[in-house]
Structures are given as C-alpha cells and as structure tokens.
Amino acid sequence: MIGDAFVFDGVAHPFNFEQGNAFGKEGEMFSNHLYAFHATLTPEGEEVMPAEEWLHKWSIEEIREMVYANSDTDMLVAMPLPLTDLYRDGLSPWQECAKLAQADPDRTVLWGTVNPLEGKKALDDVTRQVEEYGARGFKFYNVRYEDGGMVPWRMDDPKVAFPVFERLQELGIDLVGVHKGVPLGPQPVEFTQTWDMDGAAASFPDINFVIYHVGLPFIDETCWQLIRYPNLYASLAASINFVVRAPRLFAELLGKLLFWCGEDKIVYGSEAPIWQPQWALQAFWDFEIPQDLCDGYGYPQLTAQAKRKILGENMLRLHGMDVEETIARVGRRDRMLA
C-alpha cells in the first residue's frame, strides 16, 4: 500500500524484445517507440536504461521484482499483447502472462488476448484461456498488419468483435480492455480513435469496457463517452507517467476525467517494465490539481478518497472482488512475508 491506498496495478507486460522476435522494420519501429516512452518520460534522478539493455526478453522474475519488491503495489494484472503480426510471440505472450499470474496466484490476475479477425480460432483461444488458465478479462488491439498492409477492425463490428464478446459472456467474463490512442509503430492514428466504443458499450451493457491510455490524444472524446455509458472506464496506463515530467498536462488530463466521469470510473496501470512503478505511484499519491485549474475549469480536487479508488478500489470492483476482504487478505499475506 501507499499511504492508506491499496494498489492494484492494471497492466504489466513480460515483453520479449530479443533479436529475431520482431517481424521486420514495423516490429522494430514498435519496439523503438516503446523505448522512447521509457527514455522520455522517466524523470530526472530515476534510472533510464540504455536501449541495448532495456530491449531484451523480460523474465517473470524481473517483472515480479519491479512491481512487488520495488514498489508499493499489492496486486497486478498480467497483461498480454496480441501483436502476432509484428512479433512472433505477440511481444507479451499470454502464455508468459499466465506464468506471471501463477507465480503469485493470490495477487496477480491473468487477462487474456486474441485477434478477433481469426474467427473460430479466436473463439477457441478465448475458451482455452478462460477455462484452462483462469483469465479474468481480455485486452484487444484494433489493427492488424498482413502482407505489408493494415487490416483494422472495430469494437462495434457485429461480425468481427461481437462473436468474441458473446463468447466471453458465455464464459462469465464481463471485463474487456482495448488499446486506444497512443499510436505506436506503423499504426495510423485513425485506427486508435475511440468512435467504436459507443456501439460496443451500447450493444453489451453487461460488459465493462476499459479504454486504455484514456484514449490520448482523444481525451475530450473519451470523456464524452465515459459520461454517457455506465459500462465505460478509463485507464491511466501510459498517461499517469506524465505526472512528473509534465505535471500541468497530467493535471488537465486528470481534471477532465474527474469533471466528466468522476473518481469511480478511473483505474491505475503502471505499464511496467516501460517504467519503474514506484516513482509514478509516489508522485500520484502526493499530487494535487493546481488551484487555478480548479477555479478556471471547475475541476474537482484530487482527494485522498479519489486516490484510493483510482489506485486500487475501482479495479477490485471491476474484477468482482470485495474491497475490504481483499485488502485484509493481501495485507495479511504481506505481513507474513515480512
């Protein structure tokens, strides 16, 4: 815990950047863009790893040490990536994420991933990841690269996306995340827009959809969607890391979210190992929205209650976990280990 806040990190990836895993220049571009985030947003005084060191195959133990041993994180989502068109194993393979979850089964939750364009194979993979490995949610990307060309798909596509969502519901899964904004590699900006979330949220009101990266740079569009659909949420993953290097920008992002959708619909994610989690966690816990922004735009202040919800309680509820029971259980385990 940090302060009196339980920390449930919504995303960490066991990346595989080893030589030969990326397919050509498109995959290499994606890797280099991720490293640029690490190098640019890591604040002064914190370690910035050289590219040749950071771009390696991250082990399960390295992720566990970074998240659990070196930060105030209590629980974690092991998050895979389905980028099998850019990397041989998808970059963050779900099988490795399953191992990460199995290493700390009472603290780490597995999410699954598939490519809905693969039709029946995608449905079979969903079933396997849920029934055999216990996946509790699923993460999607809306663009595919095949034969050198881009093949986008939408979250509101009744032929591509809806069969996957229906299979998830059949299996008792009601939590779906999607990469929005933050275009990486050769991904065109237009395919990262959030327009398709209206149709997905309206068509599947019993599924909670998490818009990752708060849709940056489409923060205003995201806010208008969050306020209209009770089953839409926003993850601060890869945006909370502006808190030190660009605090006023972060204040405007967070202020808009608090103004439009409130503290109950925002969740935290570290994006480890892109960044060490602790510096952003500490900075967020100490953060206040500048008073002139509150006065000028009507932004609510970031209260201790809001921080507790964003850092952990909202994610616990999305996973159907009792907040008080989980905090007590995980806290007991931490005391035993200490």
CATH of residue 142's domain is: 3.20.20.140
What per-residue confidence (pLDDT) applies to 23? 87
d(CA 61, CA 187): 31
Determine the structural domain holding residue 38 and report its residue range: 8-337
What per-residue confidence (pLDDT) applies to 334? 55
As averages over each run of 10 residues, the pLDDT of the chain (338 residues) reads 94 95 89 94 95 96 97 97 89 96 96 94 97 97 72 93 98 97 81 94 98 94 96 97 96 97 97 97 97 96 96 97 91 52
Strand 8-12 and strand 108-112: the pairing is: unpaired
Residue at 1 is within a domain: no
- Asked if 236 and 307 count as a contact pair (C-beta separation under 8 A), the reply is no
d(CA 203, CA 96): 32
Residue at 178 is within a domain: yes
- Asked if 109 and 77 count as a contact pair (C-beta separation under 8 A), the reply is yes
Buried b (16+ CB within 10 A) or exposed e, 219-235: bebbbebbeebebbbbb
**How do the residues of the chain divide into helix, strand and coil, expressed in percent and rounded to 5?**
45, 15, 40
What per-residue confidence (pLDDT) applies to 187? 74
What per-residue confidence (pLDDT) applies to 235? 97
Residue at 2 is within a domain: no
What per-residue confidence (pLDDT) applies to 184? 81
Structural domain count, the chain: 1
Which pTM was predicted?
A: 0.93
Residue at 208 is within a domain: yes
Categorise residue 24: left if φ over 0, alpha if ψ from -120 to 50, beta otherwise. left
